[in-house]
Amino acid sequence: MVKSRTYIATPPGATIKEQLEDRDMSQKEFAIRMDLSEKHVSKLIHGEVALTPDVAERLELVLGVPAKFWNNLEIIYREKILKANAENHMEQDIEIVRKLPYREMAKNGWIPDTRKSTEKVIHLRKFFEVVQLTLIEDEKLNKIACRRLSSTSKSDYALLAWAQQAKREARSCETAPINLKYLKDSLSTIRAMTTLAPEVFAPNLIQLLSNCGIALIFLPHIGGSFLHGATLQDGNKIVMGLTVRGKFADKFWFSLFHEIGHILNGHLNQPHGTSKEDEYAADQFAKDILIPEQKFQMIVSKGDFSRNALLHYASELGIDVGILIGRLQKEELIGYTDLNDLRSKYELK
């Protein structure tokens, strides 16, 4: 028996059982008369196997009830199962809709806008390409490496939506076969792009990563996601999604190299996503690429964090000065808002 708020699907076996009780006939005797195994009869009574036209004909001979009756009973049962399951799944999915950032997704044009819960479920099933939204929680579908400041239930669902959109957009991106050696050899070239304006470096960066087998996707930030970037493998390409939280350029470059760190350190396609150790390793990778630790300590030892000094250090390092200022702020060597006017801001689409 399958139940939902509106439907109750009772198997034809319940009627067979009533007939046997009226005749005071055991299932063993009934199985013999039907020329079926006792196991099959038991499953038939409990609705675990379909009542086929062949069985319906046998039931007419043994119980004297027309085969048409049994066939109709089976059809009604199967239809009610579908309706009951659909209703139960809809109610479960409506609960998941409440956890997803539907309004922002619609605002970004990822899905149609609507206020009806059932319509939201249908739109989201199509967006995530699943028959039921509960499936998006399956770790087999979500091996995502990402950089975010925190993790909550809300941010986890926002990440799933954000990563899915990156995957959908990446399908239209042509990439070469995945080539991690070429990516590693290109790190200095990518680092040098930090001094360029986004309209200059963006197309070059997209093309370079495409040559490495990586589709780079720029997406808007979703509130409450704490997200900077996410990387996953989809078929024969790697998908890297990036956002610019607060629009600061230094956060963008740190996130980019953080995601590259995940790729080069082999953190993709892990059964349970990335660990704290993986995230720490990716952070260290980004820090060392942008400002090698030895050079950073030399700057710190001089103790001069004036505007002119930092511009000079950044020029020597060959990076945007905002990257150095962001690092000093992060390590609390200068105030959180000090020299923010030197930190470039990006608008990436």
Q: Same structural domain for residues 63 and 203?
A: no
Q: What is the mean pLDDT of residues 215-235?
A: 84
Q: Same structural domain for residues 131 and 160?
A: no
Residue 309, domain extent: 141-342
Q: What is the mean pLDDT of residues 166-172?
A: 94
Q: Same structural domain for residues 157 and 190?
A: yes
Q: Same structural domain for residues 202 and 330?
A: yes
pLDDT at 228 over 90: no
Q: Same structural domain for residues 192 and 65?
A: no
Q: Same structural domain for residues 331 and 232?
A: yes
pLDDT at 35 over 90: yes
- Model pTM greater than 0.85? no
Q: Is residue 349 part of a domain?
A: no
Q: Same structural domain for residues 71 and 111?
A: no
Q: Is residue 347 part of a domain?
A: no
Domain count across the chain: 3
Q: Same structural domain for residues 230 and 289?
A: yes
Give the closest residue to 41 by CA, choosing from 22, 52, 25, 28.
Answer: 28
pLDDT for the residue numbered 36: 97
List the end-to-end C-alpha distance of the chain, in Å, as a whole number: 52
Contacts of 212 (CB under 8 A, 6+ apart): 175, 176, 178, 179, 180, 182, 183, 186, 238
Q: Is residue 155 part of a domain?
A: yes
Q: Same structural domain for residues 17 and 147?
A: no
Residue finishing a domain among 94, 127, 160: 94
Q: What is the pLDDT of residues 36-47, one digit of tens each?
A: 999 999 999 999
Q: Is residue 270 part of a domain?
A: yes
pLDDT for the residue numbered 140: 75
Lowest model confidence (mean pLDDT) among 15-19, 83-87, 158-162? 158-162
Q: Is residue 235 part of a domain?
A: yes
CATH number of the CATH domain containing 85 = 1.10.260.40
pLDDT at 254 over 90: yes
pLDDT for the residue numbered 300: 95
Q: Is residue 257 part of a domain?
A: yes
Q: Same structural domain for residues 156 and 78?
A: no
| pLDDT grade for 145, boundaries at 50, 70 and 90 | confident
Q: Same structural domain for residues 127 and 234?
A: no
Mean pLDDT of the chain: 92
